[in-house]
């Protein structure tokens, strides 16, 4: 689907031409808009039990009499009177599954509840529809389209049009950011090497006015003294890249937010080699980096009043005659030494140097995003990302952004007691602790490099991609991060 959306007036639904009219219904009759154009059809369908008011149910009507639209589809959302972004997402996914089977190019969408359609619901609508129609083509150009909708008209009351228009704008920008993140993360390791990832960042900056990019090579990284990052990169023939993205939307003196994305384009585990089963999924180990690119795309489109820096340490984690060995001790950019007990705990090694590098920007806050631990998948499964932060305000803001964006996270602990696990007799710290609490000790490791700014860590190991038949990148947490940034820009402006 391209970027076209239009607003329509709700009192005009019957006469509007469209390939399909999609009516989203609340699950309770009392919550429905009185006197709607479709009320007669709906009453009859409900009386005959052709449609049941349960979440996700749909009813398709062909050439509905009295409507200019060629088709009518009812879909039942949640039972709350207001339509939450998550309910809109669920309803539209159910509708998209039906629409996919029909040649529908123009879709007229209307909310059948009595409550106003708000900006958040409009945002969720356009975002979900675009996500439902996404197909990966980079190495499979023959892939069939996942939907035919090209134009979305959203009907709402005239009084709500300004809010809905803003929601659509956000939804389009988020969709574009999420699509970029998915496209990047889905690319296999041989089609997205660190060099090609840097190329993607350059291309993004070239396409989007207001973005700048700079890429540091191995020599520059050596000169800086990023010994932990180098220790991971040195097992591979592919040259490492340290990508720095910049967006300036506020005066220079305004402290920037900094996003740090883990950019392991393939994680074999290194000398601590991973088992063969599902190792292919470690091409997604640059999901954090992909989300940073996605956020920059969305931000460049929305142009909020804030300054933003993106840092992506990118390399492969491979075994070789030059690879780091278990027991090797390396010196990080911060000067702290690390005993590499397990070369598969490489994410924290590349991130710690990027966190230290972030200090030079005197950041308002630093958020790192990483497919960091299998333990986080065990703890939270695939619905919520793990959020770690010693800063209650920052944590609350990110959690709220996750809820508002239907891209939720869950806060995890960072008590000092967990730090014991990282003690080493040969260096300032070890890079792994015991299996138990593995997501937390990974975060505790990063915390040692984040003492000089407000910091949060998002472990997206369970949320960045799906396995099985639906294998593919999700684009998370682009929506959470973008929402949080927009919120920061608004509260900045209020001061």
Q: Nearest approach, Cβ of 295 to ligand BES (angstroms)?
A: 20
- Rounded to a whole number of angstroms, the minimum distance from the CB of residue 204 to ligand BES is 24
| Mask for 302-341, x = binds Mn ion (CB under 5 A) | ----------------------------------------
Q: Is position 285 an interface residue for Zn ion (rule: CB under 5 A)? A: yes
Residue nearest ligand BES by beta-carbon distance: 374
Closest to ligand BES by CB, 249 or 347: 347
Please list every residue from 313 through 352 that binds Zn ion, using CB under 5 A.
Answer: 347
Residue of 100, 151, 274, 454 marked active site:
274
Question: Does 344 contact Mn ion by CB under 5 A?
Answer: yes
* Cα–Cα distance, 457 to 288 (Å, whole number): 11
Name the minimum Å distance from CB 372 to Zn ion.
Answer: 7
| Residue 267 interacts with Mn ion (CB under 5 A): yes or no | yes
Count of CA atoms in the C-beta half-sphere (13 A) of 390: 16
Site for Mn ion in 345-364 (CB under 5 A): 346
Compute CA distances 247 → 166, 286, 309, whole Å: 21, 21, 6
- Which residues between 422 and 461 bind ligand BES (CB under 6 A)? 432, 438, 461
Partner residues linked to 5 by β-bridges:
152
CB 356 within 8 A of CB 334: yes
CB 347 → ligand BES: shortest distance, Å? 5
Is residue 368 near Mn ion by the rule CB under 5 A? no
Give the list of residues 6+ apart from residue 165 with CB closer than 8 angstroms, or none: 7, 122
Of 160, 183, 238, 267, which one interacts with Zn ion (CB under 5 A)? 267
Q: How far is the CB of 264 from Mn ion (least distance, A)?
A: 7
Instruction: Cite the beta strand spans of 69-115 per DSSP E.
Output: 71-76, 106-111
Quick one: which segment of 264-272, 297-305, 417-425, 437-445 binds Mn ion (CB under 5 A)?
264-272
CB of 298 to ligand BES, least distance (A): 24
Closest CA to 60 of 108, 15, 99: 99
Gap between the Cα atoms of 229 and 350, Å rounded: 4
160 counts as binding ligand BES under rule CB under 6 A: no
Question: Considering only residues 343-382, where is the footprint of ligand BES by CB under 6 A?
Answer: 344-347, 371-375, 377
CB of 325 to ligand BES, least distance (A): 15
Give per-residue burial for 356-379: e unless 16+ CB within 10 Å, then b. bbbbebebbbbbbbbbbbebbbeb
Nearer to Zn ion, 19 or 285 (CB): 285
- Vertex 92, ends 91 and 98: CA angle to 5°? 100
Is-contact 129 75, C-beta < 8 A? no
The encoded tokens of residue 458 equal 């998002």
- The verdict on whether 348 is a catalytic residue reads yes
Among 83, 90, 100, 106, CA closest to 18: 106
Active-site residue identified among 16, 127, 182, 348: 348
Size of the site for Mn ion (CB under 5 A): 3
| H/E segment holding residue 366 | strand 365-370
- Between 147 and 437, name the residue whose CB sits nearer to ligand BES: 437
DSSP string, 188-244: -TTTS-HHHHHHHHHHHHHHSTTEEEEEE-HHHHHHHT-HHHHHHHTT-SSPPEEEE
Which residue lies nearest Mn ion, judged by its C-beta? Answer: 344
Strand partners, 314: 241, 263
Query: Is 274 part of the annotated catalytic residue set?
Result: yes
- In order, the DSSP letters of 369-403 are EE---HHHHHHHTTTSEEEE-S-HHHHHHHHHHHH
What binding mask, one character per residue, do residues 267-306 give for ligand BES by CB under 6 A, x or -? x-----------------x---------------------
C-alpha span between 473 and 178 (Å, rounded): 10
For Mn ion, the closer of residues 87 and 346 by Cβ is 346
Report in angstroms how near the CB of residue 351 gets to ligand BES at its nearest.
10
**SS3 label, residue 350:** helix
336 binds, among ligand BES, Zn ion, Mn ion, none (CB under 5 to 8 A by kind): none
Question: Residue 377 binds which entry of Zn ion, Mn ion, ligand BES, none, with Cβ cut-offs from 5 to 8 Å by kind?
Answer: ligand BES
For residue 396, what are its two tokens? Answer: 């609350």
Question: Would you say 204 or 442 has its CB closer to ligand BES?
Answer: 442
Please check whether residue 247 is in contact with residue 311, taking contact to mean a CB–CB distance below 8 angstroms.
Answer: no
Residues forming contacts to Zn ion in the complex (CB under 5 A) are 264, 267, 285, 347
Question: Any idea which residues carry the catalytic annotation?
Answer: 274, 348
Residues forming contacts to Mn ion in the complex (CB under 5 A) are 267, 344, 346
Residues forming contacts to ligand BES in the complex (CB under 6 A) are 267, 285, 342, 344-347, 371-375, 377, 432, 438, 461
């Amino acid at each position: 689907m391209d970027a076209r959306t239009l607003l329509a007036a709700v009192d005009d639904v019957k006469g509007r031409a469209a390939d399909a009219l999609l009516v989203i219904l609340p699950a309770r009759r009392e919550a429905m808009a009185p006197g709607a154009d479709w009320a007669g059809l709906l009453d009859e369908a409900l009386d005959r039990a052709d449609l049941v008011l349960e979440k996700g149910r749909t009813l398709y009507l062909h050439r509905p009499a009295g409507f200019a639209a060629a088709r009518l589809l009812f879909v039942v959302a949640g039972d709350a009177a207001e339509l939450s972004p998550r309910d809109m997402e669920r309803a539209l996914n159910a509708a998209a599954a039906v629409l996919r089977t029909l040649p529908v190019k123009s879709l007229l969408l209307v909310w059948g509840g009595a409550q106003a359609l708000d900006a958040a619901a409009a945002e969720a609508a356009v975002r979900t529809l675009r996500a439902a129609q996404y197909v990966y083509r980079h190495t499979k150009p023959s892939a069939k389209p996942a939907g035919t909708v090209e134009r979305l008209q959203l009907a709402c009351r005239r009084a709500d049009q300004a809010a809905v228009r803003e929601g659509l704008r956000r939804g389009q920008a988020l969709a574009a950011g999420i699509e970029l993140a998915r496209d990047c993360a889905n690319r296999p390791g041989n089609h997205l090497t660190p060099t090609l990832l840097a190329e993607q960042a350059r291309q993004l900056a070239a396409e989007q006015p207001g973005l700048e990019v700079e890429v540091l090579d191995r020599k520059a990284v050596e000169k800086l003294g990023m010994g932990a990052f180098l220790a991971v990169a040195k097992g591979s023939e592919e040259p490492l890249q340290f990508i720095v993205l910049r967006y300036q939307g506020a005066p220079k003196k305004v402290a920037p937010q900094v996003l740090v994305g883990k950019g392991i384009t393939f994680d074999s585990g290194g000398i601590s080699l991973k088992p063969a089963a599902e190792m292919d999924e470690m091409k997604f180990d640059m999901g954090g980096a992909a989300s940073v690119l996605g956020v920059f795309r969305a931000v460049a489109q929305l142009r909020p009043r804030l300054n933003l820096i993106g840092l992506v340490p990118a390399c492969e984690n491979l075994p070789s005659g030059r690879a780091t060995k278990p027991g090797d001790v390396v010196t990080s950019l911060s000067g702290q030494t690390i005993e590499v007990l397990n070369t598969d705990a490489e994410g924290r090694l590349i991130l710690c140097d990027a966190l230290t590098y972030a200090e030079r920007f005197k950041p308002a806050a630093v958020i790192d995003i990483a497919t960091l631990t299998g333990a986080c998948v065990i703890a939270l499964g695939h619905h919520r990302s793990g959020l770690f932060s010693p800063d209650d305000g920052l944590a609350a803001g990110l959690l709220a952004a996750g809820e508002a964006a239907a891209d939720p996270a869950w806060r995890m602990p960072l008590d000092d007691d967990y730090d014991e696990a990282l003690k080493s007799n040969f260096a300032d710290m070890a890079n792994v602790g015991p299996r138990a609490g593995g997501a937390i000790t990974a975060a505790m490791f990063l915390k040692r490099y984040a003492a000089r700014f407000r910091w949060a860590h998002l472990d997206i190991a369970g949320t960045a991609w799906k396995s099985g038949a639906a294998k593919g990148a999700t684009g998370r947490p682009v929506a959470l991060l973008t929402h949080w940034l927009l919120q920061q820009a608004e509260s900045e402006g209020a001061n």
